[in-house]
Structure 1
Amino acid sequence: MARINFDLQELQAFVAVAERASFRAAAEDLHLSQPALSRRVDKLEAQLGAKLLERTTRRVTLTNIGRVFLERARTAIDELESAVLSIGDLATQREGLITVACVPSVAYYFLPAIIQEYSLRFPRIRVRIIDETANTVLNSVVSGRADFGISFFGTQEPDVDFKAVLREDFVLAVRNDHPLSRRRSITWDELVGERYMTVAKESGNRLLIDDALAKSGKRTVSAYEVSHVMTLLGLVEAGLGVAAVPRLAMPLKGHSTLASVLLEQPRVTRSLGLISRRGRPLAPAAQQLYNLIDQTGKSAKRKPSLRPSSP
């Protein structure tokens, strides 16, 4: 039987380069210098007696042997991580990096408490968040840039699995001192005369709102238009107007400046879910965070505030 003379770090180096198709990007992910990363891959190839990667000045590609070995290396790493994460005391010593792509309206208020709880369980696993538009979140997952994503977009993609976590309403964001802040709900027709603000037409949130209003024979006229929901909330806080935003984008009740009022007739909702590449199992560390978000979402379904509890 041939003796195995390479170690886990060399396997991780090869997998990182293969998945990112770049020594530079892989070195950043692993917090290594490019020469150090290259030495690990060179050592692995030398021990195997086979070339795994084809390197040019512009790109890195897998050889035929490299493609076969990549799947086996992933399996070996995942099984080892599963074994480590199943042992409570050792789990806290596990190191690694997870990348999660997430729409900003979820990243700001919903996700931090979940990340905090995850970090308590696995303090040495780092979490990188790509907080971008729904399209960027989807592309990050499909390309492998992110382990998985959190979005309301992606159910039509053939290479993506979408697991619904919760359904949330769109609410009217207003200042606490606005007369509407004392209302429990308001219709879209009642917004006539208000300085209404919205996100740009390229936004997935805007598409959902416009589609729901069009089906109800209604329309809005915006005084201000921005690219991101969180910018809208800044304008609301400044007293420039009111805005329709997903409930998860709003802070907890009791915020010093902002309040939310349910929008009705029509009631606009979106289904928030976890997206991942179809047929590609998550690494154990990423699966742990995926499961925690899923569990928190199911718990939030039973709570009007739609908020995770603090750990």
Structure 2
Amino acid sequence: MKFDLIDLRTFLAVADLGSFRAASEALHLSQSALSRRIDKLEAALGVQLLLRTTRKVELTTVGRGFVPRARNVLNELENALVGIQEVSDRLSGLVSIACVPSAVAYFLPGVVRTFHERYPRIRIRIIDESSSQVLTAVARGEADFGLTYIGVNDADIEFTPLLEEPFVVAVRRDHPLAKQKTVDWADLSAYEYISLAQGSGNRFLIDQALAHGKVRPRHFCEVQHVPALVSMVEAGLGVGVVPRLAMPGAEHASLVSLQLCNPQVTRSLGLIHRRAKELNPVVKLFYDLLVSSAHTR
């Protein structure tokens, strides 16, 4: 049977008020829309619930018997929703997540916002550090789990990949490269280039990808963390290569992400946690939301 809860509400409104007109006003539906709702419910149940005449609406025998059942269904649903809301309101605790800075700017805030709306009493602590420090925080128990991009060889740490993320070219909208859909590494040599510093995990991935190539743009400035590089680009100091999640969406006023080719560079972003320690229920709520959010991107 295919019908919606609003179909039940519509039927009960007509049954209680004895009028399509009164029910349509109470539900803020047009009479034609209300009539379609009733027709849909009757078709789904395979019975006639209402007798319609030009002057009045009456319940059939089946309709009179269905009224208390429909009301019970709605009451049970409302009680269940209230119960869920009460559980959400009562949940409290602390979730500590260690996260690489490049995933904080435009990926993590949406997850934090949704989680806080659902569980307002649970506090969230974000440790935004380099990939090596994220691993250390998780291994030492300073963070419940970590969001990072370099797989680990530690037998005590489990890495769960979330998504494969490409590196992109970050430019201002008024930059000459912004007109191109794709950019080769060779194209970057003609412009002021800002690089990530030696020793950072993202720089390591870029150097690996360029190891066997002849083209390597020469930088005039280098920074330690990706958000700083994005800020330098936004200030008009040059162009840079960063992970896609570190960049704002297409609606941003001044920044554009361009596809990078020859060679492409990617990283595997994922979650790490200690194998021997099971996530507590409050932490698991945030962990699962993070996983589901990543899969929808």
Q: TM over 0.5, yes or no?
A: yes
Give the equivalent residue in structure 2 for 1:147.
144
Give the equivalent residue in structure 2 for 1:176.
173
User: Is contact 1:104-1:230 (8 Å) kept?
Assistant: yes
Output the amino acid matched with 2:133.
T
Output the amino acid matched with 1:183.
Q
Give the equivalent residue in structure 2 for 1:212.
209
User: Is contact 1:138-1:154 (8 Å) kept?
Assistant: no
User: Is contact 1:148-1:275 (8 Å) kept?
Assistant: yes
Shift of 1:232: 0.7
User: Is 1:123 equivalent to 2:109 in the alignment?
Assistant: no
Secondary structure in 1 matching 2:125? strand
Provide the TM-score with structure 2 as the length reference.
0.70
Output the amino acid matched with 1:165.
L
CA distance in 1: counterparts of 2:87 and 2:189, whole angstroms = 59
Q: Deviations over 1:121-164 (max 9, x none)?
A: 11100000001111111100000000001000233222111100
Q: Deviations over 1:202-223 (max 9, x none)?
A: 1100000000011334323111
Secondary structure in 1 matching 2:190? coil
From the CA coordinates, give the structure whose radius of gyration is larger: 2
User: Is 1:94 equivalent to 2:107 in the alignment?
Assistant: no
Secondary structure in 1 matching 2:207? helix
User: Is contact 2:101-2:227 (8 Å) kept?
Assistant: yes
Give the equivalent residue in structure 2 for 1:227.
224
Alignment equivalent of 1:246, drawn from 243, 248, 253: 243
Task: Give the superposed CA RMSD.
Answer: 1.3
User: Is contact 2:186-2:216 (8 Å) kept?
Assistant: no
User: Is contact 1:210-1:219 (8 Å) kept?
Assistant: no
CA distance in 2: counterparts of 1:175 and 1:258, whole angstroms = 5
CA distance in 2: counterparts of 1:183 and 1:219, whole angstroms = 20
Shift of 1:92: 1.8
Secondary structure in 2 matching 1:271? strand
Alignment equivalent of 1:274, drawn from 243, 252, 271: 271
User: Is contact 1:138-1:153 (8 Å) kept?
Assistant: no
Give the equivalent residue in structure 2 for 1:35.
none
Give the equivalent residue in structure 1 for 2:159.
162
User: Is contact 2:189-2:216 (8 Å) kept?
Assistant: no
Alignment equivalent of 2:200, drawn from 187, 200, 203: 203
Q: Deviations over 1:230-280 (max 9, x none)?
A: 111111111111000000000111211111111100000000001101121
CA distance in 1: counterparts of 2:215 and 2:142, whole angstroms = 40
Alignment equivalent of 1:106, drawn from 103, 111, 114: 103
CA distance in 2: counterparts of 1:181 and 1:187, whole angstroms = 13
Output the amino acid matched with 1:161.
E
Give the equivalent residue in structure 1 for 2:289.
292
CA distance in 2: counterparts of 1:139 and 1:280, whole angstroms = 15
Output the amino acid matched with 2:197.
A
Structure 2 gaps, min length 5: 1-82
Structure 1 gaps, min length 5: 1-85, 301-311
CA distance in 2: counterparts of 1:297 and 1:156, whole angstroms = 24
Output the amino acid matched with 1:281.
E
Aligned positions of 1:69-88 closer than 5 A: 88=85
CA distance in 2: counterparts of 1:182 and 1:279, whole angstroms = 51
